Amino acid sequence: MVTSSSTPGPSDVVLLDTNILLIYARAGEPSRQLEAQLGLQSGRVQGVISIICIGEVLAFAQKNNWGQARREALMELLRAKLVPVDINRPEIFAAYADIDHYCEKVMKPARRIGQNDLWIAATAHVLQCELVTTDTDFDHLHGVKMRRRWIDPSSLDPRKS
């Protein structure tokens, strides 16, 4: 769990979305390109991760029959480089409710967001850190309820350089 005494300041901390974890876990050139942009492995930033993302990435690995070596590499990444953030916090509950209300009642037209993404957005909001993602699920919340850094997936594909 991240606490103010255990992590660097907000400008040094990024919350990783599940898709970012999957890129790092797969290794290869996309992972190297991502690292060049982000600097997680080099220590330029402190990566934190919602426990929601941990569940999502483990489910993805199981559904896609990842072998033992790949699963171990994933677990090593989770243990060595990332700080897990528990969502069982009153301020995250309140942020979840606020963001859900904003998406469904305040935005015109309403913009649905997946339940897991709500938890991830609420975590980024409470930690006041940037959420790093390769998808557009959080675009409507950027600058309003949280900050997100979108990384274009094509920028990680060496065939598109």
136 backbone dihedrals φ, ψ, rounded to 5°: -105, 15
* Confidence band, pLDDT 50/70/90 cuts, at residue 41: confident
Rounded distance, CA 139 to CA 150, Å?
8
The domain of 148 spans 10-86+129-160
Report the number of distinct structural domains present in the chain: 1
Helices 68-81 & 18-26 angle (0-180, nearest 10): 120
CATH number of the domain bearing residue 82? 3.40.50
| pTM for the model | 0.87
- What pLDDT, on the 0 to 100 scale, is given for residue 10? 36
Rounded distance, CA 112 to CA 130, Å?
21
Half-sphere exposure of 135 (CA within 13 A, CB side): 13
| 70 occurs within a structural domain | yes
